[in-house]
Amino acid sequence: MAVPPSAPLPSSPFYLRRQTSCPQCSWGMEENAVASVGCREPPGPPRAVAVPCFGISVDQDDILPGALRLIQELRPHWRPEQVQTKRFTDGMTNKLLACYVEEDMRDCVLVRVYGERTELLVDRENEVRNFQLLQEHGCAPKLYCTFQNGLCYEYMPGMALGPEHIGEPRLFSLSADVPKVEVLEGELAWLKEHLSQLDSPVVFCHNDLLCKNIIYDSTKGHVRFIDYEYADYNYQAYDIGNHFNEFAGVNEVDYCRYPSRETQLLWLHDYLQAQKGTAVTPREVQKLYVQVNKFALASHFFWALWALIQNQYSTIDFDFLRYAVIRFNQYFKVKPQVSALEMPK
């Protein structure tokens, strides 16, 4: 994470790349930029993100057909017969439909259809700009697209509060930013206890293998590492887990790029085979897989703390505080599933 970010787009936070616009999308967002849709929370200075705009109008009285057309654009790998829906009926201005294929709704698209003639009261162009600005600062869900009479965005799991909740001090005084010191102290103690039991060997590590620190010479077929300021002896699984975390990028972090289990197993097999010089057993690969993903938690924790220190003292133009929050968020997000991984017998 030691490489400073590239320069932001030369524009205001409200900058939107103009291409073909759909009839009622006067802000002129890109119509076919679906490939740019990924996970939210890019760090660094505010950057404009092109949002797809589709020339689709959804019938307020029969939302499903139009919603499925949008899903075909946003999630082309979903089979239409597998798409499940859920109506939310609390809103008084718009109509809201959730579309998903897995019961846990981990990947869920919310389709919001504007109420009839609500544009007389609501500036929809300004609404989208505000949505983007808040998203860029980690305060709003991912905006997937707009269409002629609505927009699609990321589902945020949780409970919609009622009147009986909003007066509770534990809710209105809750901070969603950097965890408190006592929480961090507890997590650090947990990491020490949990990771020390994994029996990962101590080796000489680079400790900062992000993409920009890896140089590939295509003419010779050579891969070389640069920037050794963090190099030292460390746990083998930490260095690999940290490298896997860096698949997500630095300036625009997208943890959808974190390597899949299949990719990791191939990578780890080749690594062990090169290290041993002999055949590798599936058990050896699985053991390293568990070690690496558990030590990846320590990587998130370390770079989050590093970013807090940088935020206090660095003169580099980078939003270190926001980056710290992103790494802490990912740590707490993946901790339950990573903790459940068991070493092979």
Does residue 94 surpass a pLDDT of 60?
Answer: yes
DSSP single-letter state for residue 36: G
Q: Is the dihedral of CA 137, 140, 146, 149 positive or negative?
A: negative
Is there a contact between 324 and 308 (Cβ–Cβ < 8 Å)? Answer: yes
Instruction: Determine what percent of the chain falls in helix, strand and coil, rounding each to the nearest 5.
Output: 40, 15, 45
* CB contact set of 32 (below 8 Å; sequence gap of 6+): 52
Write down the pLDDT at residue 39: 39
Domain limits for position 140: 63-161
Among the candidates 161, 189, 210, a domain finishes at 161
Q: Is the dihedral of CA 272, 275, 276, 279 positive or negative?
A: positive
Write down the pLDDT at residue 170: 65
d(CA 235, CA 225): 18
Whether 58 maps to a domain, the answer reads: no
Whether 297 maps to a domain, the answer reads: yes
Does residue 164 surpass a pLDDT of 60?
Answer: yes
Does residue 311 surpass a pLDDT of 60?
Answer: yes
Mean pLDDT, residues 87-100 taken together: 85
Burial degree of 261 (CB within 10 A; 0-12, 13-18, 19+):
exposed
Tell me the pLDDT tens digit for each residue of 183-226.
999 999 999 999 999 999 999 999 999 988 999 889 888 888 99
Query: What is this structure's pTM?
Result: 0.54
Q: Is the dihedral of CA 196, 200, 201, 203 positive or negative?
A: negative
Mean pLDDT, residues 137-148 taken together: 88
71 and 137 within one domain: yes
Mean pLDDT, residues 28-33 taken together: 34
d(CA 269, CA 293): 15
1 pLDDT band, cuts 50/70/90, is low
Say if strands 108-113 and 202-205 run parallel, antiparallel, or are unpaired.
unpaired
Is there a contact between 93 and 108 (Cβ–Cβ < 8 Å)? Answer: no
Write down the pLDDT at residue 172: 64
Does residue 173 surpass a pLDDT of 60?
Answer: no
185 and 154 within one domain: no
Whether 10 maps to a domain, the answer reads: no
274 and 197 within one domain: yes
Q: Which amino acid is at 24?
A: Q
102 and 193 within one domain: no
254 and 150 within one domain: no
What CATH number has the domain bearing residue 192? 3.90.1200.10
> Closest Cα partner for 130 from 183, 20, 51, 243?
51
Provide the 3-class DSSP secondary structure of residue 99.
strand
What CATH number has the domain bearing residue 74? 3.30.200.20
Does residue 30 surpass a pLDDT of 50?
Answer: no
324 pLDDT band, cuts 50/70/90, is very high
Does residue 18 surpass a pLDDT of 80?
Answer: no
Q: Which amino acid is at 212?
A: K
327 pLDDT band, cuts 50/70/90, is very high
Q: Which has more confidence, 90 or 345?
A: 345
Structural domain count, the chain: 2
Q: Token digits for 153?
A: 């965005």
236 and 94 within one domain: no
d(CA 153, CA 111): 7
Tell me the pLDDT tens digit for each residue of 35-74.
333 333 334 444 445 789 999 999 988 999 999 999 999 9
* CB contact set of 304 (below 8 Å; sequence gap of 6+): 323, 324, 325, 327, 328, 331
Q: Which has more confidence, 290 or 33?
A: 290
* Cα–Cα distances in angstroms (integers) from residue 317 to residues 173, 244, 251, 323, in the given order: 31, 26, 12, 13
Q: Work out the mean pLDDT of the chain and round it to a whole number.
A: 83
Whether 2 maps to a domain, the answer reads: no
Instruction: Determine the distance from the C-alpha atom of residue 5 to the mean position of all C-alpha atoms in its chain, rounded to a whole number.
Output: 17
255 and 203 within one domain: yes
What's the Rg (C-alpha) of the chain? Answer: 23
Write down the pLDDT at residue 104: 85
Does residue 234 surpass a pLDDT of 90?
Answer: yes
Write down the pLDDT at residue 165: 79
Which has the minimum average pLDDT: 95-109, 166-180, 312-326?
A: 166-180
Write down the pLDDT at residue 47: 46
